[in-house]
Chain A
């Protein structure tokens, strides 16, 4: 099955700086890569996703990049704010074959005011 690795496990940045979280996957057939944000006491919520026919996607301060050849994808958060502090999970999936999602182990991001 698919194996997703995520780094770093913890990340602290100053408010206003950028944060980057990286994930690698093992199954070259995976074609859908969502990112989730989990706040304390809540379930993970989708913040951005990318499909394998696209190399980059942006949504305001958040961007995701995908390198299919190297089998890695990254989450970029610019101009970080204290409310960005949370645990972030990457995931990989092969759509249309059961929609199973394989998750990374999570990154705890702390934005220091």
Chain B
């Protein structure tokens, strides 16, 4: 089983719809992150959380929100999806001083 699991793997939605991407982990890490990947732009941080009561904005948080429901679960929501949010989204986990461990991504298309 994957240590960091993202659901769904693929999602197509229409402009204006609300959607949620989910992430769960079995690594026991306190820190969880959401990244967005676009061709030529690398990985950009959307939100991160260092424990259940902690939520922090990354460099591109506008249009997104997150919820840390438990140590093992971190969800990303798009309140009103728009086409330029079409991208590959990655969840990652880490412990302090350790590298990131990524899930296999969710490919989101907004039409």
Chain A interface residues (CB < 8 Å from chain B): 1, 6, 9, 32, 34, 36, 41-46, 49, 89, 95-96, 98-101, 103-106
Contact = CB atoms under 8 A, between A and B. Distances in A.
A44 to B, nearest CB: 5
Interface stretch (B12-20, B64-72, B73-81, B91-99): B91-99
Contacts of A41: 104-105
Interface of B: 4, 31, 40-45, 48, 50, 58-59, 90, 92, 94, 96-97, 99-105
B53 to A, nearest CB: 16
A99 B31 CA distance: 9
Given A43-B92, A44-B100, A99-B96, 14 more contacts: A1-B59, A9-B40, A32-B97, A42-B104, A43-B102, A43-B103, A43-B105, A49-B99, A89-B42, A89-B43, A100-B58, A101-B45, A103-B44, A105-B42
